[in-house]
Amino acid sequence: MNESKFAHITKVHPCFNEKMHDKVGRIHVPIAPKCNIHCDFCTREINKCEQRPGVASRVMTVDQAVEHVKKVTSEMNIAVVGVAGPGDALFNNETFEFFKRMDEEFPDLIKCMSTNGLLLPEKADEIADLHINTVTVTVNAIDPKIGSKIYSNVFYNGELYTGEEAFNILSKNQLEGIKMLAERGVVVKVNAVLIPGVNDKHILDIAKKVKEQGASLMNVIPLIPMHKFKDTPKPGCAELSEVRDAVEEIIPVFRACTQCRADAYGVPGKEDKHLDMTPSSHY
């Protein structure tokens, strides 16, 4: 079943099919500002100029987001509606209110979200019930020694965790959550941020594990050096290609991503507009 769903999605989803990436549009609604973990490369910001995940020009209410979808879909060819931050989609109830409205009012649009995956096990049923078609989970490590260098804390069930303990909670939930989504017929893409000297030799382990859990596709994206990793060099094209080629031996790889903002809409790279913000959760 997952294979036929994947085939259907890849025909039309610009983030799952490189051939469609510059042909059909997606609309991100920036309705999810809060985040429950701290990735050490993330600085979420509200601004109008930066072109990267984690940036959006403003946060919308659910009503404003529905109006925005109505307007944009009447003006251009949009196949996908997504929630990609600027925080974590699952940690903001607005995401679920919004997708309920989408399911009722725009049942033909593909519903998509990106998340850090911490809340996936408890939200997987609701995601499937709302007919969310595709979920991108960012998995930057599966080894706690490496993971604890990337995530400095995790806020879960009212407690703040740090170090390997924090990473272990996140990782368990990410991996369990991917499996639960796949079992419920939701197509899962995994993003991994390539961080030179930290997880560059570890990406293949991630690829093997997430494939085992039922992910359909992987997107290896280069670190944008910021925050604690501001002095880490951004991976070069050759390094990125080498890792992607190796990953492709394990799981299909999406290569057209240019890391867009949490409020981007239109056809990526072409008629690409934004409200003046980006999703961090895509890191």
- Residue 196 beta carbon to ligand SF4: minimum distance, rounded to whole angstroms: 18
User: For residue 38, what are the CA distances in angstroms to 42, 81, 132, 229, 281?
Assistant: 7, 26, 26, 13, 11
- Residue 278 beta carbon to ligand SF4: minimum distance, rounded to whole angstroms: 9
Beta carbon nearer to ligand SF4, 80 or 250? 80
Pairwise CA distance, residues 202 & 217, whole Å: 17
- Residue 42 beta carbon to ligand SF4: minimum distance, rounded to whole angstroms: 3
Residue partners of 66: CB distance under 8 A and separation at least 6: 98, 101, 102, 105
Peptide bond into 86 cis (omega under 30): yes
Pairwise CA distance, residues 225 & 200, whole Å: 15
Beta carbon nearer to ligand SF4, 113 or 220? 113
Q: Based on the shown chain and the rule CB under 6 A, indicate whether residue 54 belongs to the binding site for ligand SF4.
A: yes
**DSSP assigned state of 258:** -
φ, ψ of residue 160 to 5 degrees: the values are -100, 125
- Residue 79 beta carbon to ligand SF4: minimum distance, rounded to whole angstroms: 9
Of positions 241, 245, 258, 271, contacts ligand SF4 by CB under 6 A: 258
Q: Based on the shown chain and the rule CB under 6 A, indicate whether residue 35 belongs to the binding site for ligand SF4.
A: yes
Q: Based on the shown chain and the rule CB under 6 A, indicate whether residue 57 belongs to the binding site for ligand SF4.
A: no
Beta carbon nearer to ligand SF4, 68 or 282? 282
Pairwise CA distance, residues 145 & 2, whole Å: 33
Of positions 5, 23, 38, 228, contacts ligand SF4 by CB under 6 A: 38
Of positions 26, 123, 244, 274, contacts ligand SF4 by CB under 6 A: 26
Compute the residue count for the chain: 283
Of positions 10, 95, 116, 173, contacts ligand SF4 by CB under 6 A: 116
- Residue 112 beta carbon to ligand SF4: minimum distance, rounded to whole angstroms: 3
CB 220 within 8 A of CB 243: yes
Please name every residue paired with 39 in a beta bridge, in sequence order, or none if there are none.
Answer: 151
Q: Based on the shown chain and the rule CB under 6 A, indicate whether residue 266 belongs to the binding site for ligand SF4.
A: no
CB 117 within 8 A of CB 169: no
Footprint (CB under 6 A) of ligand SF4, residues 85-104: 85, 87-88
Beta carbon nearer to ligand SF4, 44 or 123? 44
Tokens of 204: 């293949």
Tokens of 129: 């019930």
Which residues are near ligand SF4 by CB under 6 A? 14-15, 21, 26, 28, 35, 37-39, 42, 44, 54, 80, 82, 84-85, 87-88, 112-114, 116, 136, 257-260, 268, 280-283
